[in-house]
């Protein structure tokens, strides 16, 4: 099937066509530029959902899907699997949690393994998000478990980033320490049916009161939710829409998307440079054992004639 036929099928709701296009885009195949051009110009709400393992992300995503489906929106979800030992159960859990929507033609859910992909999460997921937008999805949700770098990267990919916290886990404090709070556009205190939810909201408010804001800057709302029975979801939907309006009104949306594209390009360039300018084990040993210094070694790497993109490096590499 050609690209035009595939995109037409995907727009008409054919999941296998969507999957094939996504695979091509994620792998940066030679069809990828033509696919990107064929679907250019989508306009979806792109929402990142992050937070500690088990805080309720997938359950909340499922509720969000429900709310947006009721409003007639087509919804796509990319569940990022960083393939790290910390998130072993994430994908299976996602399948169970979002099973309600498995048979709905207006919903597309995909797990994305980012390990081993050129350019990592940023370069893999950015194109996938644009593809889904271009195929006519009105909302694209990217769920990523808040471990390590992924949650910072996700904020770069989404228009609106939700940070989920749960009461009684010292989560708010942890998030402050990790600097994660700064990436969020909307805070969600999930599991509000558990004791301590109000204390977590208070912690967040106290923390926010310390941050100086310029007039016109976005003030992160704090939503309380019970994800599995849908409590607080309408307010969350409103908060997301509010942030979207703020972005569009102040013309931040286009800038944000350009920044995102720049980050994607940079990720791929970095990956390509690392591949071309391979650091050999022998050179690393020279530095480690004091036979030369780092700057001289770096110059030696850069002065080596770069190999062409199509010839894979055969030298042993040490990264």
User: Taking CB within 5 to 8 Å according to partner kind, which of Mg ion, ligand GTP, none is near residue 226?
Assistant: ligand GTP
User: Taking CB within 5 to 8 Å according to partner kind, which of Mg ion, ligand GTP, none is near residue 230?
Assistant: none
What value does the CA radius of gyration of the chain take, rounded to a whole number of Å? 22
User: Taking CB within 5 to 8 Å according to partner kind, which of ligand GTP, Mg ion, none is near residue 55?
Assistant: ligand GTP
Q: How far is the CB of 85 from Mg ion (least distance, A)?
A: 16
Contacts to Mg ion by CB under 5 A: 57-58, 90, 94
Complex with ligand GTP: residue 228 or 317, whichever CB lies closer: 228
Complex with Mg ion: residue 9 or 55, whichever CB lies closer: 55
User: Taking CB within 5 to 8 Å according to partner kind, which of ligand GTP, Mg ion, none is near residue 59?
Assistant: ligand GTP
Tell me the residue number closest to ligand GTP, measured at CB: 56
Complex with ligand GTP: residue 61 or 135, whichever CB lies closer: 61
Complex with Mg ion: residue 96 or 262, whichever CB lies closer: 96
Contacts to ligand GTP by CB under 6 A: 53-59, 89-90, 93, 97, 145, 190-191, 193-194, 226-228
Complex with Mg ion: residue 57 or 260, whichever CB lies closer: 57
Phi, psi for residue 76 in degrees, rounded to 5: -115, 145
Contact (CB, 8 A) for 240 and 60: no
Distances (CA, A) of 239 to 47, 88, 236: 12, 31, 5
Please, which residues bridge with residue 142 across strands? Answer: 48, 78
User: Taking CB within 5 to 8 Å according to partner kind, which of ligand GTP, Mg ion, none is near residue 190?
Assistant: ligand GTP
Q: How far is the CB of 162 from ligand GTP (least distance, A)?
A: 11
Tell me the residue number closest to Mg ion, measured at CB: 58
Q: Retrieve residue 19's tokens.
A: 């999957």
Complex with ligand GTP: residue 94 or 133, whichever CB lies closer: 94
User: Taking CB within 5 to 8 Å according to partner kind, which of ligand GTP, Mg ion, none is near residue 69?
Assistant: none
Q: How far is the CB of 101 from ligand GTP (least distance, A)?
A: 14
Q: How far is the CB of 150 from ligand GTP (least distance, A)?
A: 11
Complex with ligand GTP: residue 32 or 147, whichever CB lies closer: 147
Q: How far is the CB of 141 from ligand GTP (least distance, A)?
A: 12
Q: How far is the CB of 94 from ligand GTP (least distance, A)?
A: 6
Q: How far is the CB of 228 from ligand GTP (least distance, A)?
A: 5
Q: Please tell me the distance from the alpha carbon of residue 136 to that of residue 151, in angstroms, as a whole number.
A: 26
């Amino acid at each position: 099937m050609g690209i035009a036929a595939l995109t037409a099928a995907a727009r008409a709701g054919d999941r296998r066509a969507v999957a094939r296009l996504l695979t091509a885009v994620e792998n940066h195949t030679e069809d990828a530029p033509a696919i990107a051009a064929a679907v250019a110009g989508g306009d979806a709400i792109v929402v990142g959902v992050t937070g500690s393992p088990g805080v309720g992300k997938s359950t909340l995503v499922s509720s969000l899907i429900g709310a947006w489906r009721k409003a007639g929106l087509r919804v796509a979800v990319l569940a990022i699997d960083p393939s790290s030992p910390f998130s072993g159960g994430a994908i299976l859990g996602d399948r169970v949690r979002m099973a309600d929507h498995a048979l709905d033609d207006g919903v597309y859910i995909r797990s994305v393994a980012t390990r081993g992909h050129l350019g990592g999460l940023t370069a893999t997921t950015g194109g996938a998000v644009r593809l889904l937008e271009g195929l006519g999805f009105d909302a694209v949700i990217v769920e990523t478990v808040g471990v390590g770098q992924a949650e910072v990267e996700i904020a770069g990919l989404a228009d609106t980033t939700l940070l989920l916290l749960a009461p009684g886990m010292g989560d708010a404090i942890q998030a402050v320490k990790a600097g994660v709070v700064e990436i969020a556009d909307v805070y969600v205190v999930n599991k509000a049916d558990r004791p301590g939810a109000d204390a977590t909201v208070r912690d967040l408010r106290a923390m926010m009161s310390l941050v100086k804001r310029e007039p016109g800057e976005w003030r992160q709302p704090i939503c309380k939710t019970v994800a599995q029975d849908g409590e607080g979801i309408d307010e969350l939907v409103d908060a997301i829409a509010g942030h979207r309006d703020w972005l569009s009104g102040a013309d931040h949306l286009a800038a944000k998307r350009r920044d995102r594209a720049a980050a994607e390009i940079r990720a791929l360039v970095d990956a390509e440079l690392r591949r071309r300018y391979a650091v050999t084990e022998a050179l690393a040993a020279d530095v480690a054992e004091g036979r030369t210094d780092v700057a001289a070694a770096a110059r030696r790497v850069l002065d080596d004639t770069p190999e062409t993109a199509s010839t894979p490096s055969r030298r042993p590499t040490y990264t």
